[in-house]
Amino acid sequence: MKNNFNYKILETAQLIINSKKTFVLTGAGMSTESGIPDFRSDTGYYQKMDPVNALSKDVLLSNPKRFYSEGYKILEDLNDKKPNEGHLALAELEEMKYISGIITQNIDNLHTKAGSKNVYEVHGETRRVHCMKCGSSFEFKVMQDKVNSGQIPPKCDKCSGILRPNVVMFGDMMPEDFQLAVRELESTELLIVIGSSLTVAPVNYLPQYVEKLIIINNTPTPEDNNAEVIFREQAGTVLQNILKEVKRLNDL
């Protein structure tokens, strides 16, 4: 009974309805159903080009040609992706006031595209870029057009400094969103972790701020022992079922 899927959906819906404040933490597994591979999984098709390495600040400065030909392509690809049924379910739960917001490790903008409003992007985003010299901000497309027309590295129109994406790379500090997310979690009762194996610091420390955890991830995480409910199924299916159940209980 305890491990039955429908029972776990009911239990989760009840936890959400009874929680004083609920937050969501999402990682790569949230977006695999949108066709975005998990950079860190061994089966990902980016495995050979080592995107994490190619997307470092060090490479950007020492080898811009490599940066803008390898890792950068991944960022470009993300702009065509669409939110899946899981992203849409989370946006609806936020609109119904059952979740207060989302903290995401993903840089694919899919929560925002799905309509979620309170999103903390702790690894950055790919909507905008900025100049490393004067700090001016531009649309991603401005940089994209420069790169595609052969201007590598792409230069700022105002001061001719180098433009870079607003993603957090190796060698960067965590963005302000991370501190804001921690502050939100200090008053949060329930955290739903989705598609994150909770192995990347400092995001893996976030569950310690909350009283209750729900985990939706297809592989074990270091926090499984502390979770009220664990799902190993695909995030999209689980979240649509949770949404349906919350609505059903709401209508009783």
CB of residue 31 to Zn ion, shortest distance in Å: 31
Choices 90-98, 155-163, 186-194, 242-250 (CB under 5 A): range interacting with Zn ion:
155-163
The response to whether 131 counts as a known ligand-binding position is yes
156 forms part of the interface with Zn ion (CB under 5 A) = yes
Q: Which residue's CB is nearer to Zn ion, number 142 or number 182?
A: 142
30 forms part of the interface with Zn ion (CB under 5 A) = no
Q: Which residue's CB is nearer to Zn ion, number 63 or number 136?
A: 136
Which residue in 117, 158, 183, 232 binds Zn ion (CB under 5 A)?
158
163 forms part of the interface with Zn ion (CB under 5 A) = no
Q: Which residue's CB is nearer to Zn ion, number 138 or number 231?
A: 138
The response to whether 159 counts as a known ligand-binding position is yes
Does residue 130 carry a catalytic annotation?
A: no
Phi-psi region of 135 (alpha: psi -120 to 50; beta: other; left: phi over 0): left
Residue list 120-149, contact with Zn ion (CB under 5 A)? 131, 133-134, 136
159 forms part of the interface with Zn ion (CB under 5 A) = yes
17 forms part of the interface with Zn ion (CB under 5 A) = no
The dihedral sign for the CA sequence 237, 202, 176, 35: negative
Q: Which residue's CB is nearer to Zn ion, number 130 or number 247?
A: 130
Question: Which residues lie near Zn ion (CB under 5 A)?
Answer: 131, 133-134, 136, 156, 158-159, 161
In the annotated binding site, the residues are 131, 134, 156, 159
Annotated binding site for Zn(2+): 131, 134, 156, 159
